[in-house]
Structure 1
């Protein structure tokens, strides 16, 4: 005898197979998860673009108010902004594990949430555990992770689990569903607004499909469903409107171009030499699965994917001051849709071979990431070691070379690496994320006018040096009077063999490293 389970009127697949028993699938998930987190074990600072900036903020949050040196520069201003999950989870871990390990634990949790979420969604839909969604491990290391969208990616994993809970409770009391949804909304609000929107659109799309499929069109049923859907979001709409983030609601920008780039970011890693063969292999496997009628997608999944895709096309590039507001939806759409897709391994003569191929493919991706991380981390660690020569409490100004030939991956890894001076020397760093409405860490009065409060671009060294003659015609900038304000200057994107000291009268070379130069600023004579 075989068991079946239904969602709405959709018949589900039989579940009595040894390779789909929970303990077998659990063992397979553990193997893939171990591979996924392997690069985090031996990489002190994962070379993710914004990550050093986030990590420095975690150190500050965990150190204040006990660190008097850092307390001269920064303060914590708690507010209900929708960008707090890392700020809540990581600082309590720092006293036990240290800030570098605590940050990697958070990254590991993020990867595991995204890996296991589609498995939970498949369980809710089909009533069985399957190793098929573990194929998502191939795409966990993607362009969005490399940018360092930590809070949002954590929220993607939570959102997929939230949709799983919504589907699993589809036959239960509306009150229970509303309370569970309220709990997920609370977590997702602290992650990111985009993650909360992803969850809201996905459960609304599924609920619309369910009511249509069951032909439950009575006004009373629709009213209960609408209340169950909408009520959990109302408290967080109020929190948003009353939070400092609401002041950024006017910061919106649409761009027609870049949608395709969002798609490529999902599948690209570091090199076409490794990405293209892997994509060709995946395309071949999809063709084989469709040809053999092994792959199917739940009808509700089509509705959810279409609605989320329309949202992706309609979203602006910048929303609430958050860059890549539209592009980042791609990673959420992928992991949401993955949970709705099922592969009938029963029709495969060698079903265990599928998992073996999956495991080898994930291992290939992990090795590719590990090799590149090892190379990229060298200049990053060199930069970290160089700033450790600064006295505690120094003030560091960050600039960029006028021209650079640095590799894209190294340039991205070093973009926010100078913020490690906050960790190593309790320093004031001009480019630390302290934007009101986006972060709860703020610069104190007296330091606020000397840091970037608008999340702008790193100024070029020529602009810095030009300001020595007075403020620019465009208006005052935080680096004005930099000779008096800062103690050190770091220039990113330099060549150790070709980049000379841009102004020996004002700067003394401290370290000429790979893709950066550190200078001691000569103070003007009275």
Structure 2
């Protein structure tokens, strides 16, 4: 379907439909008090320190929080005005709820700008709003990618309307703000914008001089680079950020093909392995139809964008500056751009397009229903686990151990960072915070905790897991420094010898979760025996 081909909008191409599916995409997150995303509770603990450390100086005994310009501040900045208005927990929930909706509107807006109308096949991309990186709780990343999709659509629209000077003026500050939200979103916007400009500039030169094929591509490449210069200022910010003495973390694990293949199969990973892999298979069937089916074709514009993103995915290592899962985060967006690159060929009947739209919408609805049920189940496990929080006094020092199997189960418990809710709600010390200088604004500084001060000391297993830093539960219970903590919180721990906790007092049991108080020896008055 091409621009101007038909003046009548079909039901899946209307603004009302876009608004409806954007609102519908929020449904799984409406009921849970805390969005059940793996890392999110840990981030909430950091947000609480950010907001409260000035009025609660004891937090400085455990954590060092320092504002600095880094490319990972999306929600960290947004909660500053929002938390005083609605509270931290609701502020975080509102921002997180907006991410799937923005992802949906971004994908559909891009499809409309490129194809002229939203093709029926684009609806198959909508479930990727709940992709595995989002489920993992990479919220600053997910927010930046959702914004980047909408900004790319705006970039395309202004290019189509030939408002390139205004676009250049606007995208200088916009690109800087996107980089501050998260570096990844800015980088992906640059790749998408360059690929789109390359096609646009080539088409301009092809129309003016159709015989000069190679020369036209070269000039298009140069001009596309020039037109994307308004997006380049964050490169300076990146150099300043990553060249500081405080920055650590290695970049490693290049071309790990086994995991790159795994990340592709896991783009919709949530709870039910068969359901999630079958859903990914549907996406690949749709993409395959674009190659073999005579009724569907790929847009050159978005097809090239998908190829560029795929190349970046192949070249990205698994760990960048100490941050893991760098390549995994891009996988869903490679597929999403490839899917919205598809469109029915000119001359396809309305009935054929409508059937595709119904199937795509049904696919979205089934995935949405599955995610909603999954989140309700996770929410119940959260409620059971965090029931002990009100038992812990404020300012307490708590070492937490969350049970985990060595085997990478498809359905995570998503409880790994629930201990951070003690920090968020009780201003207590917890040992689950990340502590990597330059990666976020907060680092842990509690020497008395020794090897139990920060992530991943909160994760325990039944045996030592190969290639992991997790401790066996027996070792953790035996070795943690008793004098550094007031409480021990065990959340679904593996089985352990009760003799390991004989010097602790059990004060609460919630299902398989246990809260112990560390016993202190009585201090005798001076001069007595």
Name 1:363's counterpart in structure 2. 365
Name 1:506's counterpart in structure 2. 503
Secondary structure of the residue aligned to 2:490 is strand
Q: Residues 268 and 277 of structure 2 are in contact (CA less than 8 Å); yes or no, is this contact kept in structure 1?
A: no
Measured in 1, the distance between the counterparts of 2:328 and 2:108 equals 24
The CA deviation string for residues 93-140 of structure 1, in whole angstroms up to 9 with x for no partner, is 222323232222112211112111122112222333556533322222
Long gaps (5+) in structure 2:
207-214, 458-468, 524-529
Q: Does 1:251 align with 2:275?
A: no
Name 1:52's counterpart in structure 2. 41
Q: Residues 432 and 455 of structure 2 are in contact (CA less than 8 Å); yes or no, is this contact kept in structure 1?
A: no
Measured in 2, the distance between the counterparts of 1:508 and 1:245 equals 48
Q: Residues 400 and 488 of structure 2 are in contact (CA less than 8 Å); yes or no, is this contact kept in structure 1?
A: yes
Name 1:396's counterpart in structure 2. 398
Long gaps (5+) in structure 1:
5-10, 468-478
Deviation at 1:427, TM superposition (A): 0.7
Deviation at 1:313, TM superposition (A): 1.1
From 222, 232, 235, the equivalent of 1:237 is 235
Deviation at 1:303, TM superposition (A): 1.8
Q: Does 1:464 align with 2:476?
A: yes
Specify whether residues 267 and 409 from structure 1 end up closer, same or farther in structure 2 by C-alpha distance, changes over 3 A only: closer
Deviation at 1:328, TM superposition (A): 1.2
The CA deviation string for residues 186-220 of structure 1, in whole angstroms up to 9 with x for no partner, is 13212322222212222222223333333375898
Deviation at 1:75, TM superposition (A): 4.9
From 183, 200, 204, the equivalent of 1:210 is 200
Specify whether residues 508 and 501 from structure 1 end up closer, same or farther in structure 2 by C-alpha distance, changes over 3 A only: farther
Measured in 2, the distance between the counterparts of 1:14 and 1:190 equals 41
Q: Residues 45 and 100 of structure 1 are in contact (CA less than 8 Å); yes or no, is this contact kept in structure 2?
A: yes
Deviation at 1:47, TM superposition (A): 2.0
Name 1:227's counterpart in structure 2. 226
Q: Residues 114 and 335 of structure 1 are in contact (CA less than 8 Å); yes or no, is this contact kept in structure 2?
A: no
Q: Residues 107 and 150 of structure 1 are in contact (CA less than 8 Å); yes or no, is this contact kept in structure 2?
A: yes
Secondary structure of the residue aligned to 2:331 is helix
Specify whether residues 184 and 458 from structure 1 end up closer, same or farther in structure 2 by C-alpha distance, changes over 3 A only: farther
Name 2:483's counterpart in structure 1. 484
Name 1:176's counterpart in structure 2. 166
Measured in 1, the distance between the counterparts of 2:232 and 2:454 equals 30
Secondary structure of the residue aligned to 2:184 is helix
Specify whether residues 402 and 96 from structure 1 end up closer, same or farther in structure 2 by C-alpha distance, changes over 3 A only: closer
Deviation at 1:333, TM superposition (A): 1.5
Deviation at 1:394, TM superposition (A): 0.6
Secondary structure of the residue aligned to 2:326 is coil
Q: Does 1:193 align with 2:202?
A: no
Name 1:470's counterpart in structure 2. none
Q: Residues 64 and 443 of structure 2 are in contact (CA less than 8 Å); yes or no, is this contact kept in structure 1?
A: yes
Name 1:474's counterpart in structure 2. none
**Alignment root-mean-square deviation, CA:** 3.4
From 127, 145, 155, the equivalent of 1:156 is 145
Secondary structure of the residue aligned to 1:519 is strand
Q: Residues 175 and 228 of structure 1 are in contact (CA less than 8 Å); yes or no, is this contact kept in structure 2?
A: no
The number of aligned residues is 498
TM-score normalised by structure 2 residue count:
0.83
Secondary structure of the residue aligned to 2:142 is helix
Q: Residues 268 and 276 of structure 2 are in contact (CA less than 8 Å); yes or no, is this contact kept in structure 1?
A: yes
Q: Residues 128 and 336 of structure 2 are in contact (CA less than 8 Å); yes or no, is this contact kept in structure 1?
A: no
Q: Does 1:268 align with 2:269?
A: yes
Specify whether residues 270 and 401 from structure 1 end up closer, same or farther in structure 2 by C-alpha distance, changes over 3 A only: closer
From 2, 6, 9, the equivalent of 1:18 is 9
Measured in 1, the distance between the counterparts of 2:444 and 2:205 equals 57
Deviation at 1:525, TM superposition (A): 5.6
Specify whether residues 263 and 464 from structure 1 end up closer, same or farther in structure 2 by C-alpha distance, changes over 3 A only: same
Measured in 1, the distance between the counterparts of 2:98 and 2:56 equals 28
Measured in 1, the distance between the counterparts of 2:70 and 2:271 equals 33
Specify whether residues 120 and 211 from structure 1 end up closer, same or farther in structure 2 by C-alpha distance, changes over 3 A only: same
Name 1:309's counterpart in structure 2. 310
Deviation at 1:370, TM superposition (A): 2.2
The CA deviation string for residues 167-194 of structure 1, in whole angstroms up to 9 with x for no partner, is 2233636543322332332132123222
Specify whether residues 352 and 406 from structure 1 end up closer, same or farther in structure 2 by C-alpha distance, changes over 3 A only: closer
Name 2:527's counterpart in structure 1. none
Specify whether residues 53 and 206 from structure 1 end up closer, same or farther in structure 2 by C-alpha distance, changes over 3 A only: same
Secondary structure of the residue aligned to 1:490 is strand
Measured in 2, the distance between the counterparts of 1:454 and 1:270 equals 24
The CA deviation string for residues 320-357 of structure 1, in whole angstroms up to 9 with x for no partner, is 11111112111222233334322469623275554444
Specify whether residues 209 and 441 from structure 1 end up closer, same or farther in structure 2 by C-alpha distance, changes over 3 A only: same
Q: Does 1:81 align with 2:80?
A: no
Specify whether residues 244 and 398 from structure 1 end up closer, same or farther in structure 2 by C-alpha distance, changes over 3 A only: farther
